[in-house]
Amino acid sequence: VMDEVEAALDDVNLQRLIGLFEQLRTQSQLIVITHQKATMEIADALYGVSMQGDGITAVISQRMRDEKLAAPVSAN
């Protein structure tokens, strides 16, 4: 879990971090909390959480990547 790890990065270092995320995604599951559009663009899925005026939390999600791009899962 990474919470806004890229918030203070310039564009060059943000792209380096995104490259690292791309490498890690093949062998790890990453949960990244971000406000950076570039980081959101590489996500497999986005989740949004907000509190409504009545104190009830609302959660929305959006799958970002085409299912065909996901690696096949072995039945073994």
Q: Hey, where are the domains in the chain?
A: 2-69
| Average pLDDT estimate for 24-35 | 93
Confidence of residue 66 (pLDDT cuts 50, 70, 90): low
pLDDT of residue 68: 45
**What's this model's pTM, rounded to 2 decimal places?**
0.72
d(CA 48, CA 60): 5
In sequence order, the β-bridge partners of residue 33 are: 3
How would residue 67 be classed by pLDDT, with cut points 50, 70 and 90? low
Residues 6+ apart with CB under 8 A from 40: 34, 46
2-69 CATH: 3.40.50.300
Q: Which residues contact 8 (CB under 8 A, 6 or more apart)?
A: none
Average pLDDT over residues 48-74: 77
d(CA 14, CA 59): 27
